[in-house]
Amino acid sequence: MAVMTNGTTWLAARQSIAFGGYHVVLARGLSPEELADRLAATVLYDTKHTAVAAGEHTGESLLELMDDTYGDSSDGIGLRLGHTGDWTYAVAYGGWQGEFGPLAPVSRGGAHVCLLEYEEENGKPVPPHFACFHDGRLLSACNLHLAASWGYQGVDGDPATAARLQELLTAAGLPDPERDREDVHRIALGVVEGFFGLSLPKDLIVHGTLPAVLLEPA
């Protein structure tokens, strides 16, 4: 029986995964364990971090575990792991905002790695962000409000890939400064999803149980 999956546009809804926004990494060519280990190595602390297995959790129960472990879930980082089709995914919980370094090294060895991130409660405000890497190099990146802000003027990255993605976003009517930001966010996610073939199982991530790890000092 085919496994039913969802796309990524549901991430545009407010608090789609948890309070504070979302940080989702998808990888093709890595197991969930490999992805978790590589993400742990990018954590921007003075000490090296590793992924420590924490059992099976819902998003809510992982945050409760982190509250018990750290005193406040925002003082740690947890990941719930899974796979859909040929994509592995890691969904971050806790104080992930600003704590991960560049993801290009995560894609070493021929892996494809995509980042979907939105610091929803950041007061600046920071727009939602997408980036895709392959074998250590950036293929494309853009903010998903498609506004000329935060260092972006359209799509950056490999010229051929970035140009194709930009054409699709333009064909979808973006950027459109008159359109509601959440609508722009959703439309842009849909374009990225279709171009790269991304998928995330909404019901499983929001309501189900998945293997989890805590990113702990080694």
Residue 165 in tokens = 């993605």
Q: Which parts of the chain are beta strand (E)?
A: 21-28, 49-57, 77-84, 87-94, 112-119, 129-134, 137-143, 156-157, 210-217
Instruction: Identify the H or E element spanning 68.
Output: helix 59-70
Express each pLDDT in 31-89 by its tens digit. 999 999 999 999 998 789 999 999 999 999 999 999 999 999 999 999 999 999 999 99
Are 173 and 196 within 8 A, CB to CB? no
The C-alpha atoms of residue 24 and residue 200 are separated, in whole angstroms, by 9
Counting Cα atoms < 13 Å in the Cβ hemisphere of 55 gives 7
| Torsion sign across C-alpha atoms 151, 94, 181, 197 | positive
- For the entire predicted model, the pTM comes to 0.94
Residue with tokens 């980042």: 115
* Tens digits of residue pLDDT in 155-208: 999 999 999 999 999 999 998 888 998 999 999 999 999 999 999 999 999 999
